[in-house]
Amino acid sequence: GAVVSQHPSRVICKSGTSVKIECRSLDFQATTMFWYRQFPKQSLMLMATSNEGSKATYEQGVEKDKFLINHASLTLSTLTVTSAHPEDSSFYICSARDFQRERGTGELFFGEGSRLTVL
């Protein structure tokens, strides 16, 4: 079964509002989680690496004030899209590593994804 869960799976909001997406590791502790963005018919783009108890590491070109990441516990990371605009509409996917399950392979476990539509 799923080991990483995202919520909500779909969200529609008005331009200018903020939206929070949650990513939970269900039965393991994830000191690091990753947030990806996926445009239609394209691959995943790593936005940031979320580290429990410290600041997230953002990839070049990703606005940290626009995409706020908080990793307050070992099982929860949140992505908040602040003052959302239509160009922020996208599919956002989180992932995490479960070091016990992956047994050193580096495998990532992905959430179901969250479809954000900004009107």
Partner 1 sequence: GNSVTQMEGPVTLSEEAFLTINCTYTATGYPSLFWYVQYPGEGLQLLLKATKADDKGSNKGFEATYRKETTSFHLEKGSVQVSDSAVYFCALSEYTGNQFYFGTGTSLTVIP
The residue ranges that bind partner 1 (CB under 8 A) are 6, 32, 34, 41-44, 46, 49, 93, 95, 97, 104-113, 115
Based on its alpha-carbon atoms, the radius of gyration of the chain, rounded to whole angstroms, reads 14
Task: Pick the closer one to partner 1 by CB: 9 or 17.
Answer: 9
Q: Is the peptide bond before 8 cis (omega within 30 degrees of 0)?
A: yes
CB 52 within 8 A of CB 31: yes
As a whole number of angstroms, the distance between CA 81 and CA 28 comes to: 26
Task: Pick the closer one to partner 1 by CB: 34 or 67.
Answer: 34
- Beta pairing partners, 18: none
CB of 53 to partner 1, least distance (A): 16
Task: Pick the closer one to partner 1 by CB: 83 or 107.
Answer: 107
CB of 4 to partner 1, least distance (A): 8
Distances (CA, A) of 42 to 36, 55, 86: 12, 28, 18
CB of 2 to partner 1, least distance (A): 9
**Count, residues in the chain:** 119
Task: Pick the closer one to partner 1 by CB: 67 or 92.
Answer: 92
CB of 109 to partner 1, least distance (A): 8
Q: Which helix (H) or strand (E) is 52 found in, with range?
A: none
